[in-house]
Amino acid sequence: APVTVKKICCIGAGYVGGPTCAVIALKCPNIIVTIVDLNKSRIDAWNSPDFSLPIYEPGLVDVVKEARGRNLFFSTDVDKAIKEADLIFVSVNTPTKKSGVGAGFAADLNYVESATRRIAAVATSSKIVVEKSTVPMRTAESMRTILEANSKPGLRFDILSNPEFLAEGTAISDLFSPDRVLIGSLQTPEGLDACRSLIEVYANWVPKERILTVGLWSSELSKLAANAMLAQRISSINALSAICEATGANIDEVAHAVGRDSRMGPKFLRASVGFGGSCFQKDILNLVYLSESLHLPEVAAYWRQVVIMNEYQKRRFSKTVVDTLFNTITNKNITVLGFAFKADTGDTRESAAITLIRDFLSERAHVTIYDPQVEEAQIWYDLAEAIPDTPIEQIKKQVTIAPNALDAAKNSEAVVIATEWKEFIDIDWKAVYDTMNKPAFVFDGRMILNADALRQIGFKVKTIGRGE
Ligand code: NAD
Ligand code: UGA
């Protein structure tokens, strides 16, 4: 019979583990939820008395305020939380491998494996182990093998796949009312029982018809497929944006017309400087690697093109900036507004802004950056990583970080919108114009500004996907 879950442990207090399990705690007051991580400063931030949490996510503070100390706990004592739990979420990072077999494509499973081995080493009772991280197919099987080979006799481990579909910036509303919750299990009586135990957790707030149950391998593949198809939509619209710029068509109008087809739908058709974030590229490369391992080179090439198009879009945008500024930006001041990979997050992983700034610096421009959420230290860290052959002191001579948009734009030749922060729409653009060198350019990589109004002020404006 299914176990009633009373204690949950979540291994990994990052962008997924933190918000997901905080919401579970909020919605399931009868379950004790402990979120653990090896990173002490991250856990300290989750526990900070003034709620200066390690990640910025609208609505998250309110959730943590209500549940923390009631039935939600954050700790570095991984072993204790594992021992006490009936159900364990594995929400650790699965980045793209940087070296070794599959480097640049395959997922690094080292963190998943360490967490799994820790569960095997310390568990003294049977557990349901839930794969929450996005993983290559058949990872659940590896986890089971490791658990069975290393645990104490007489214990059972049931493995479930329960991929997370939240998007950063809207994580809390996504978790409160998900389009679906997907649970994959073995189709054995034990596997189905474990599945029922997890359904009971989500059923505290998610309507049952939104909880989908499938086989383990379908569940693992569905997560990769969902991200690949979402990213593919963006690459498709971005590919069309290049045609628009070359012809005078308007990508907004094209996206609107296409999206009106109810088979297509209007969402996720915003042309941009290119998609970023920790997952789209990683998960597609993972799918490419899988396809190649399965000797399906045409399938691999198909998905790979989504990433190639994204790289092209970023390169194309920086080239437009250089071309428009009379073919040279050497010693010019370029202002980049936005550094996060999308609005409403402080996350910068794979942000298109990083690539653009790297391109501008390689043209020997001076770049001034402003982002409402990203911390200075993070910007220096990302630039150092993106430009490994230049010492950070040199980078710092070419880059300034400003406290607001107006300061950032002072004496610059061009303002580049890299992230769609709402506050950029409301900037006093007349004041910005007055402080800039002339002719003053705006490059809107996110289609958020009113180009006509800017032109009235005197700006020269280029918007992605518009051929005017
Ligand atoms: P993250 O890097 O923010 O968090 C992972 C955390 O796990 C880190 O704090 C790390 O210290 C911790 N960790 C690693 N190994 C550990 C171990 N053995 N024991 C204890 N703690 C350990 O990563 P994330 O963005 O939360 O992503 C986690 C997974 O979820 C990835 O597989 C990702 O693909 C997937 N995912 C992410 C998102 C997203 O929006 N970021 C959405 C859906 C799925
Ligand atoms: C994405 C998916 O949307 C989530 O469902 C998934 O759980 C998650 O990846 C994951 O697996 O990590 P996320 O990367 O947080 O979520 O954010 P998105 O809203 O998908 O945006 C990704 C990137 O695409 C951003 O850079 C965004 O600006 C860009 N984008 C998005 C566009 O350029 N155009 C669009 O129309 C939509």
The 10s digit of each residue's pLDDT in 421-458 is 999 999 999 999 999 999 999 999 999 999 999 999 99
Residue 354 DSSP class = H
- Ligand minimally distant from the alpha carbon of residue 345: 2
User: Would you state the torsion angle of the CA atoms of residues 342, 348, 353, 355, taken in this order, to the nearest 10 degrees?
Assistant: -130
- In angstroms, what is the span from residue 231 Cα to ligand 1's centroid? 20
- The ipTM value here is 0.98
Which ligand 2 atom minimizes the distance to the CA of 420? 28
The backbone region for 319, taken as left when phi is positive above 0, alpha when psi lies in -120 to 50, beta otherwise, is: alpha
Share of the chain above pLDDT 90, in %: 99
The 10s digit of each residue's pLDDT in 263-305 is 999 999 999 999 999 999 999 999 999 999 999 999 999 999 9
| Protein residue whose Cα sits closest to atom 14 of ligand 1 | 92
279 is an active site residue? yes
Going from the C-alpha of 312 to that of each of 2, 98, 317, 355, 462, the distances in angstroms are 50, 22, 9, 11, 18
| Protein residue whose Cα sits closest to atom 44 of ligand 1 | 164
Cβ 132 under 6 angstroms from ligand 2: no
Determine the Cα angle at 403 with ends 398 and 408, to 5°: 50
Q: Where in the chain is the domain with CATH 3.40.50.720?
A: 7-206, 307-463
In whole angstroms, what is the distance from residue 293 CA to residue 126 CA? 34
Amino acid 15: pLDDT: 97
Q: Report the CATH number of the 307-463 domain.
A: 3.40.50.720
- In three-state secondary structure terms, 441 is strand
Which ligand 1 atom minimizes the distance to the CA of 165? 43
7-206 is classed in which CATH architecture? 3-Layer(aba) Sandwich (3.40)
- Ligand minimally distant from the alpha carbon of residue 350: 2
| Protein residue whose Cα sits closest to atom 13 of ligand 2 | 167
- Say if residue 467's pLDDT is above 90: no
- The mean pLDDT value for 383-408 works out to 96
Amino acid 124: pLDDT: 96
| Protein residue whose Cα sits closest to atom 28 of ligand 2 | 342
Tell me the average pLDDT of the chain: 97
